[in-house]
Amino acid sequence: MNGQERRREIRELLESSAAKIRGSDLAKRFSVSRQVIVGDVALLKAEGVPVVSTPRGYILKREGEKPCGYLETLVCCHDAAHTEEELTIMVSLGALVHNVSVEHEVYGTLTGSLEIGTLEEVRDFIRAMRGGHSLLLSTLSGGIHSHLVETKDREHMEQVKEALRKAGFLYHKEEP
């Protein structure tokens, strides 16, 4: 099978699946390396295929798909050791953490997709970060980062913000 055929099949798999498909599973299925799949996904994205890369696999963003809850960007600040606690607070209160963003002095805004909404997904993310050779984006910005967070409604968002505030994670600039 050539690359073009493999990418067509990857696209078809993504179109027919509501669940995330791990890159390592695609690599096994097509008897190629994980890096080949990363390249295939990059080429699919370049062709306009709306592939979303998450820490737990690839998923296709459905056309017209919109968040079903209340969205807000929350700015947080903490060291890497508190990432699990921060994410756990949010998902324990029913939030879905869509992404993480930091401001970089050269590149501007850098954003990573998370799509974390369960305690299991928090544990998977933390395990992947500890087991890999990757750094959290927040290490590039002295711990200051933002998350696009979705909750059922505004009241639930206020609960999330209050819990983050109590934990000392919600960023606020001291006014002179």
CATH of domain 3-60: 1.10.10.10
The predicted structure's pLDDT at residue 47? 87
The predicted structure's pLDDT at residue 20? 87
pLDDT, one tens digit per residue, over 47-104 is 888 888 877 788 887 665 555 689 999 999 999 999 999 999 999 999 999 999 999 8
* Cα separation, 90 vs 93, whole angstroms: 5
- 131 or 117, which is more confident: 117
Burial of 100 (C-beta count, 10 Å sphere; 0-12/13-18/19+): buried
The predicted structure's pLDDT at residue 66? 56
Locate 81 and state its tokens. 């050791």
Of the pLDDT bands very low, low, confident and very high (cuts 50, 70, 90), residue 175 is very low
The predicted structure's pLDDT at residue 46? 84
Closest CA to 62 of 15, 109, 28, 27: 15
pLDDT, one tens digit per residue, over 4-30 is 999 999 999 999 988 889 999 999 999
Of the pLDDT bands very low, low, confident and very high (cuts 50, 70, 90), residue 173 is low
Please give the class, per CATH, of domain 70-167. Answer: alpha beta
Helix (H, G, I), strand (E, B) or coil at 99: strand
Average pLDDT, whole number, for the chain? 89
Closest CA to 56 of 143, 118, 111: 118
Q: Domain ranges for the chain, please list them.
A: 3-60, 70-167
